[in-house]
Structure 1
Amino acid sequence: MTRLALDAAPETAVPRRFLETAPIWGALAGVLLLAAGSAALRTRWHPATLAATHAFTLGVFGNLLFGSLLQFLPAVAGARVRGGRRAARLLHALLNLGTLLLVIALYGSLRALFAPASVLLFAAFGLFAGMTVPGLLAAHGQRLLRAGLGLGIAAALATAALGAGFALTLAGWIGLPWPMPALVDVHALLGLLGWVLVILVVVGRMVMPMFQGAATLPAAAAAAWLAGVATALPLASITRLVRADRATPYLVVVAATVAFAFGVLWLQARSTHRRNPPLRAFWRAGTLALLAATIALPVGDGLLAGVLAIGVALPLLTCGMQLEIVAFLGWIDLHRRCGRGTRLPSVQRLLPNRERWRVLACFLAVALLLPAAVQWPSSWLAAAAALALIGSRVMLWRTLRGVRHRATRFLAEEVA
């Protein structure tokens, strides 16, 4: 079991602000799809599709990963985060204002908003690196964990730089030396594999035994996976740009995602002290959806694969953890306020399993309807998928807020 340095963790309001913002972006993506109808689910280049995609990748995943890592780095990795609460507030503002401008610009094809959006978003990722990288370099021990986190943050910066280049090109400020479709593929490869999946692997190796009772991934296997990704990402990116080679990036994605998915399923199967059935189910469903996305990658223009990965698989994996982190934050907050000697409610009381299962059921409805709407485009199916997406995120947000309400009620009863 990983030892947690709770005293080193930031104020609970710091990560909670990001984690409670993420569902709002998921709901907004549903609103965009509802407004655009089935047209948004026919091609990956539709303005509403591009806007909804970035509502997920920046609004949902950006907030989830920033918030989670601000809690994880000092508490688990032993890396001090610089800037404190003030820098975290600025980071939250830059990320979400930049994402809002970008989503509006993409949906409405508003050239004037692309440049400010790119500046704000690149500043957000640069600030995050400045807050976290020095602490990672100065920390001692857990070299594999720190190396993986460093790789993920480097990929995030590269993704943000490419995204800024796209935005400035769309604004008419600069030109890009390679075709836009090839650069978009590299952008997606760095962001989804290099940033999101790498962070999931290195963080999951530490928290799967803690929260799921799963077996621990051997260090040699994790190191081999990370080394393979670190080597293959630049190779696949260069071949895609220089040689217009789609096969190498495809093989890299297949190898990395299949290894991750089967690794998760294998670790869960080898669990000796299984706990937290809802979270295990979130991760099992997410890994299966990720395998389906990998299989669908050569189909059409990649829309189905993108929907399965960005709209289904990664939300299941990240939002399952989001529930656990917010519940744990509620317990830490009570621990700090009440001190020793007070019998605190357990994490399970702050967030009962029945509510976790309810959120999972809503997410699984999206997992069925959204790919179906891509495969069989129709106005009613697109509307059903969009409404399921909105409803699932409203349910998630209410569930997260419920943790705070229970903690507040406990404090009120203690004072009384």
Structure 2
Amino acid sequence: MNSQASPTLMSQTSVAPDAPLNIALLGYRSAPHSGGQGIYLKYLSRSLARRGHKVTVISGPPYPQLDPEVTLVRLPSLDLYEHGLRSIRPIQLLSRLERIEWVSKLTGGFAEPYTFGERVKCWFVGRESEFDIIHDNQTIADGILSLQHRGLPLVTTIHHPITKDYRVALAAEPRWYMRLLIHRWHSFLRMQKRVAPQLQSVVTVSGASATDISDDFNVDRSAISVMHLGVDTELFRPMPEMEREPHRLMTTASADAPLKGLAILLRAIATLRSSYPDIRLTLVGRPKPGGDTEKLIASLGIGDVVESCKGISHEEMVQKYASASVAVVPSIYEGFGLPAVEAMACGVPLVSTDGGALAEVVADAGLVVPAGDSEALAAAIHQLFEDDQLRDDYASRGLSRAEQHFCWNRCAERMEAYYRERIAAC
């Protein structure tokens, strides 16, 4: 790292080979319902703590749900996406960072990565020697980069470059004014594109993401290490006591995010309905009222087919997997594809697209079709509906793959070795 760092900062890197580490994990939004980033912090912090390390999670709101042995440091923000623009008190505008958040939200932007990075930079002043390693989860902000410049051992996980979301959202939106809003919301990418090439230690979750990060963020491929995510196999598990409903599909998707490919699945269901009048879809995620997904469901005439739910517990999600005959991951792009692994761990036969890392993650444990092809998706679902033995075969393959390849304990073991390597390099 920075060879000009002061002796005080560098002294923290003298760590015995097997000594427990003091680890700081950073996340600007870390609640499990915030998506894969929140799940990543929850399970990585748990697994590292169980290996005997002292783990501190430093997070902006919404805050994570952590195990008791993991310390949580809260760095409050306005959290305007939860509370709205009118929640602010005039005195709060005296703060530069809160003014930035308010004006950004007012004009359609997303300032949280930048403002969280600035708060982290300030929080670490005087605390530089408290941690052996700092691990940022996708913030990729100026303030986080400053820690590296100060000589602190820094690792950054980039799940995938958000440039992918940006391009897919633009391609799916024909209205010029909405395209302007999409461009405005993704303006934080300018910062991330500037910061990412300067990061010396980058971790990502798949080979496909590593290639995309190198291409889109101009990060040296040799600086990127690939470590697959895990799945909680104690929670996501088969429930053989529950009966599967014939022709019931299960998917988890941010319903109005084009990247998740829900529109492709809905069109496939409309194609299949004539052959399977009792076809049903359990959608974990609720369409925006009056949004594009609701309009598409109405235009396809499948309003009675789609049963959506949001805010359910993981245990309830496992029960819904257990009642489905086929799980579907229709995404246009995934940096990893945690829903695919969760479905496999539940022993549900899987149909997945090859978007992003999905072909890498699913391999031969599911039926894989081209991303964006509703006809291919319908054909694969039809194939599984018609063949009991094939469903059993893919259910068994998926369960075996989840158990053998996607384990949080193995992920934490590899991450610990990587931390020690990076500490030694400082």
* Normalised TM-score (structure 2): 0.28
Richer in strand (by share): 2
- Could you say which structure has the higher helix fraction? 1
> Higher relative CO (CA 8 A, sep ≥ 6), structure 1 or 2?
1
TM-score of the pair, normalised by structure 1: 0.28
* Pair member with larger Rg: 2
